[in-house]
Amino acid sequence: MSTFRATNNTPPRARDPYPMNPAKPKPDDAEPPIPDGPTERIGRAGRPGRAVFLAVLLALFALNVAGVAIFVAWRAANLARVALERPGPVAAGPAHSETFDVSYAQEPLRVQVGCSAVMFLDLDEPRSNAAEKVGDLRYDSRCGDSPPSFMLGAGAAGGSQVRSTDLDAAGCARAIRTSPIGPGASVPVRKGSVLCVLTAATPARMVLVEVMDVGRAGTAGMRATSWKVAA
């Protein structure tokens, strides 16, 4: 007895890789995968505008600091210059304050002595060939080519060699205070030499002496201007 077995010639249906399951959507409807690990918000990574603003702010601050420093330096230099240009108090000889009145102006004086001789000048009158004890200037003649010289005499309270005749009594007082002729020092007598001499008389005299000419035989011509020194 034969057994009949039904056969199905239809090929088996391919298995659907995406079965109708709502929990597993097809690729067209799938969302992009979420990356693993920490994430950061998009669009906030860098802020170039804020960095530029901070840089400009720091540059302006530095510029202001530099400006203040320049102003302070300029102000200090200006104050120092004004302080240097401001004249200080004038004092010569006596420590008390002094006023000056002209007693004589451009009075001529002349000395004439032999080789290696001495003559004294009294600048209070004025007088050449004065006594040694009242002489304010000592004139020493030299022999040969050596020029004669001036020294302060016993009647002088102080003196200074200056470079110009464009001085008043206050200028002479300042010169005697800052650049005096020391004890035993001498000043060559040459044409154009200028001396300031403060006498020790009462009242004292401030005298500006200018050498006008110097001869070869112990002679010299001078002119003197004197101011009274009164407290």
Would you say residue 19 has pLDDT above 70?
no
Per-residue b or e along 152-191, where b marks 16 or more CB atoms closer than 10 Å to that residue's CB: bbebbbbbbbbeeeebebbbbbbbbbeebbeeeeebebee
Predicted confidence (pLDDT) per residue in 158-199, tens digit: 999 999 999 999 999 999 999 999 999 999 999 999 999 999
Higher-pLDDT residue of 147 and 28 is 147
Beta-carbon contacts of residue 117 (< 8 Å; ≥ 6 apart):
141, 218
Model's pTM, two decimal places?
0.57
Predicted confidence (pLDDT) per residue in 68-100, tens digit: 778 777 777 777 666 656 544 444 444 344 678
Instruction: State the pLDDT at residue 155.
Output: 96
- Helix, strand, or coil (residue 46): coil
Q: What is the mean pLDDT of the chain?
A: 79
With tokens 């979420």, the residue in question is 34
Higher-pLDDT residue of 183 and 231 is 183
Beta-carbon contacts of residue 123 (< 8 Å; ≥ 6 apart):
136, 137, 155, 156, 197, 199, 205, 207, 209, 224, 226
